[in-house]
Structure formats: structure tokens, C-alpha cells
Structure 1
């Protein structure tokens, strides 16, 4: 048995001696001597754990019986790396903070942070709106939404179903409060966009009771403004449609009539896939398109191509046959459908990777008309 002695008196307390090992082939027992008292631990993990803890205290480690040590060293280190690395990585991650914790920390770093928790932002935002301080309320509920997304990320990392359900409800309620601000501003299409986005969250998780309460609040508010100032089709000055992603990011599509070209519209789309880096900083993969289109019975179709360079694609011709695109990995066609008032549905035919967007970026989804208040 290899003898190990420490010069320091602060050698960490030993674990009880192991009676067996899951990997007997690489199990090595070490005896440490502190103040002449033998303490025993088991296996290469225990050995390197003591080495790192001792060095962290700035106490050198000395090996006795060097010939034996050289023979055993390869076995000890080989076994240690397999057993110890997961623990070391976990310790480093914990020390540095999780991605969600760092993201939340970055959100709260700054001089102009109006509130510091999702609940306080919600309460302050509602109070400000009731008092008629609309701009202040707008700032507060935006922060409420950002912190709700951070809470959702933390719940996902913690793998807690209860926390995840609560976080979903918080995100949906933040959307409801943002809709309330738009009602006060008189932007009813925008309010409907927020409420309908909150309702759609319930469709994704129909059995989530906590989320269901927020969805019920969104439905109630949506019914209160149903039929008021509804925009049908595309207004003469154009329209912007938006689809909520996460982390406060929206996909956006502008549809504007082209002067001098009857029934021709220009579509400009900006699409994102938001992410959070390892240091908690928000970032995004992006994609965009620009095309001239005609809507045939409310549907416009754009075959994506690199042939046009930077100029908008000309997709004004009617495309009735989707067979050349469906289930094809080498082609991309994006369909825009005015499916209902203030609603634009977007679907990719073929392969999204052939659309020329960034990684994970897609134009697909349901978009709601927003005036940008």
C-alpha cells in the first residue's frame, strides 16, 4: 500500500475506508498520515480529491516510497480521470453559475433596472397602469416578461415540473400585462396580438393548470375587445405582423403595397432564433427575406433562391403545385396565408435549411398584426 504524508496539519478529514469498488480493476487504496495518525480513503477519486484540496490550501504534498509511487501512479491517474472529471466539471459549473443564473444576473445589472423580481415587476406594472402612468407601466411589464423568461430557463435547468409550470404561467401573464398596456394606449390590434399569443401557450400545454389560469385571463380580456377596431386584410399603407419566440424576441414580417404595381406587395421578413451564451449574454441566429408577391385567394408563395442577389425576389407568379417542394431536402418555398383578420400564417414547404437562414431559424408560425405602439 502506497504511503502518502502531508506536510500540513490541515489535511482534509478522510472518508471511511471502502469495502469494495464498482471498478475493482482500477481501485487503489491510499493511506494518509497526518500528525502520525493513519487515515484511509478509497480509490483514485479519493486520492486526487485529497491532492486538489491540499493544494487549494497551499500545502505541498510529498510522496514517500517513490519507487512504489511511480509504479502505482499510472493506475491512480488513469482511474482518477474517469471518476473525477464529472465531479470537477460540476464543481466548476456551480462555481461559475448556471447559464440561467448568469442570464438573470445580467438582466439585473445596470443603473436603470425598474424592479428586480418577476412578481414585483408585475405588481408595480399593474399599479402604474391603474394610476395612468402608462409609459412607466410599459417599462415595468417589459421587465416582468424578461424575468419570467429567466425563471423559465432556471426551471428547465432544474428539471422541476412544478417550477416549469409556474414559469410558463408567469410568461403568459407577462404577455397579458403587456396587452393591458396596449389597450390603455388604444392599440387594440397590438393588445389582441399579446392576448392571442398568451392563449396559444395554453394550446401547447393543455393540461397545465397554472398556465390555464393565465390563459383564462387572456381569453377574458380578448373577448372584451373582440370586434373593436379590427383590421381586415392589408391596409393601404401596409402592415407589420409579429410572432413571439422567447427571450423577448419576435419574428417580424412587413407587408406593403408596391406603388405602380397593381395587387403587388413587398414582403420583408426578419427572423431570429434567440439563445443565451455560456456567460449568460443573449444572442441570436438570424435570417431574412425580401420578395415581391401577389396574394391569390389570400395566399402568397415565395420560392427561396440565391439568383437575385440582394434584390427582392420576384414571386408574383401563381404557384399551384407544391409537389416539387414538399418533402424535398434541396428546396425551400415559404407560404404566407392571410388566414383571418389580423392573422398571417407562415409555413415552409421543403427543407428549412435550404431557406438560407441561420441555424435553427425558421419563418414558420402564426403572426399577428401589430401597429408598433
Structure 2
């Protein structure tokens, strides 16, 4: 039985405001009023999405490769703000390439796109490194490395992963945050199409050892018109970490509800048998597995958590500072 958390859980499809919106204007009137014949070669979602990204005269670059080269040059010249814009565009165009490769079912194109996406993450990490945001840089590099873990035999992707590893090793011990900072922390997980999942962990004032967890989860996609959209899921709970692990029951095997948000999950839950292998149950586990690293795992089924379609909290999140 699902917990009724109307104030806590959202499960709707909404427009997704990707970071590039401020950089890339909406399609021009000419593009919007093109004839069917003119649009015949842009019927796929990938082409429509790419056209959305490249519409307008303020686009800083037109291809993934040119964005990458210009971004590196801008960073080397100390133009960090320009570099941020360029590498964000580089990342978006790489994801458009991946979408196109998926639609065409081309393994070679898919490998190239994966490599480009990973390298864009590396370049975003380089920007954070230039800003002195060590944990943010490590988060980008680790995310790029994780993409390689998903495709261990992809040689092209392996080159980008090697670049990420080299950079990560050079800053692996720079101002590393261990445990949870006194003021709390935000852990984020990079998804696709400019979307991020996040878990905020903050101490509850006046309650020693108690933290409030607020999670925002997302399943990003590109709709038939080439527009980014997403299904969403949210979670809010008060927890205690026992040996670095906090567990939030989104459902109860007894059928009881957790009451008003935030969910009170401060009691230790040791027995996971009522959740594991049960499609109608959901317990979400948060584990501080390493410095600046939070692993999230669902016991039971993500479909029972009350989130939007295909939304899951599962994955590895990295500590990041700033908004």
C-alpha cells in the first residue's frame, strides 16, 4: 500500500528547465512556420531537439566538437563564464547525438556519443576546478568515470574515462569533505538533458543526530516535439544514520501510513525482508559509503514509492556546493 503523501510526492509530467534555457533562445518564427517539406528531415525527436538547441543567433557554437574546442580555449584564457556556457552547450549537443544514435540503432554512433558526453562532463569538471570548487570538480569527473563502468568494453569511451581519472587523481585529496558537514550537504546525480537528481541532508535544530532529507528525483525525456520534459518524484523525511545508513519506509507492510510529511524515519529498521522482493512495498536506503558520496537504493519496487512513471531514486550521488 502506498503512503498518501500529497504534499510530499509529485508524480506529474512537467516542462524541464534545463540549464541551457538561459543560453539558447526559443526557435525563431521562421523555424516554427517552416513547411512540411522543409521539416521532412527533422521529423525525429533527436533532430527536433537539436534544432531547439541551435535556434537563435546567440548560440555560442554549432557542433559538439566546436563547443568543446572553444570551451577549452576560453578556460585556458581565463574566460570562465564563457567556458561554462560553451561546455554546457557541448554537453547538450552530445546528448542530442546520443538520442540520434539511439533512434538510428547505430552502435558506432552510440559509442561516439557516449564518449562525447563523458568528455563534456570532464570539461564541466575543469570549469569547476578553475573556480576552486574541488568537490564539484570531483563530482563531474566521477560521473564521467561511472559512465565508463556502464560500458567497460567501449574503447572510445575509455579515452574520455582515462582523462577523467587522471584529473580526479590530481585533486583526490584537495579539501575532501568527510562525513556530513555541520551545516548539512547537498548530493547530486547527473542524469540527461540538463536534469539533475538531488538529495539534501540537513541537521534538525534541537534534535541531536537527527537530519532532514529532501530528495528530488527525475526521469528526463524528450517529447515528440523535441522539448525536454520529465516525470518527477519527491521525498521528505527526518532520519537518523546508523553506521552511515538511513532508511525511509515509503510504504508499510502492515498497511499503516506514515502520517504528515516529513516522514518520521528516525527509528532503526534492521529487517528488510518485508520490503525486498515485494513489488507493492518501497523503502529507500541512503548510505554514506565514502567521502562526498551517497548511495541510494530502493528495497522493494520503485513503482511502489509514489513517484512519477519510471522515476527511481536509485544511484550514486556526489556532494556538490552551490545551487
Measured against the shorter chain, the TM-score band is: 0.7 to 0.9
Query: Residue 85 of structure 2 aligns to a residue in which SS?
Result: helix
Any idea what the Cα deviations from partners look like across 1:165-191, whole Å, max 9, x if unmatched? 110000000000000000000000000
Q: Going by fraction, where is helix more abundant, 1 or 2?
A: 1
Deviation at 1:110, TM superposition (A): 2.8
Judging changes above 3 Å, is the alpha-carbon distance between structure 1 residues 95 and 115 closer, same or farther for their aligned structure 2 residues?
A: closer
Secondary structure at the aligned position of 2:103 is classed as helix
**What are the superposed Cα offsets for residues 315-334 of structure 1, whole Å, 9 maximum, x if unpaired?**
00000000011011111000
Q: Partner of 2:11 in structure 1?
A: none
Query: Are 1:348 and 2:294 an aligned pair?
Result: no
**Structure 2 residue 244 is matched with structure 1 residue 244:** no
Asked if 1:284 corresponds to 2:230, the answer is yes
| Aligned pair partner of 1:157 in 103, 108, 122 | 103
4+ residue runs over 3 A deviation: 93-96, 305-310
Cα root mean square deviation, aligned = 1.7
Alignment partner for residue 59 of structure 2, among 101, 106, 113? Answer: 113
Query: Which of these two proteins has the greater Rg computed from alpha carbons?
Result: 1
Match of 2:321 in 1: 371
Distance 1:220 1:319 in 2: 40
Q: Quote the offset at 1:244 in angstroms.
A: 1.4
Equivalent residue for 1:318?
A: 268
Match of 1:262 in 2: 208
* CA distance 1:308–1:109, shift in 2 (3 Å): farther
TM-score under structure 1 length normalisation: 0.74
* Counterparts of 1:136 and 1:158, CA distance in 2: 33
User: Once the 2 structures are TM-superposed, how far is the Cα of residue 137 of structure 1 from its aligned partner?
Assistant: 0.4
Residues 97-147 of structure 1: CA distance to partner in whole angstroms, max 9, x if unpaired? 111000100111134311111011101100000000111101110110000
Counterpart among 154, 164, 183 of residue 129 in structure 2: 183
The residue that corresponds to 2:169 in the other structure is 223
Mapping of residues 68-83 of structure 1, within 5 Å = none
Separation in structure 1 between the aligned mates of residue 157 and residue 99 of structure 2, nearest angstrom: 16
Are 1:138 and 2:84 an aligned pair?
A: yes
Q: Structure 1 residue 207 and structure 2 residue 157: aligned?
A: no
Shift of 1:96: 5.4
Q: Give, in whole Å, the separation in 2 of the partners of 1:201 and 1:189.
A: 18
Q: How many residues align?
A: 283
Once residues 262 and 110 of structure 1 are traced to their aligned partners in structure 2, the CA distance between those partners, rounded to angstroms, is 53
TM-score of the aligned structures, taking structure 2 as reference length: 0.85
Q: 1:180 to 1:95 in 2, by over 3 A?
A: closer
1:158 deviates by 1.3
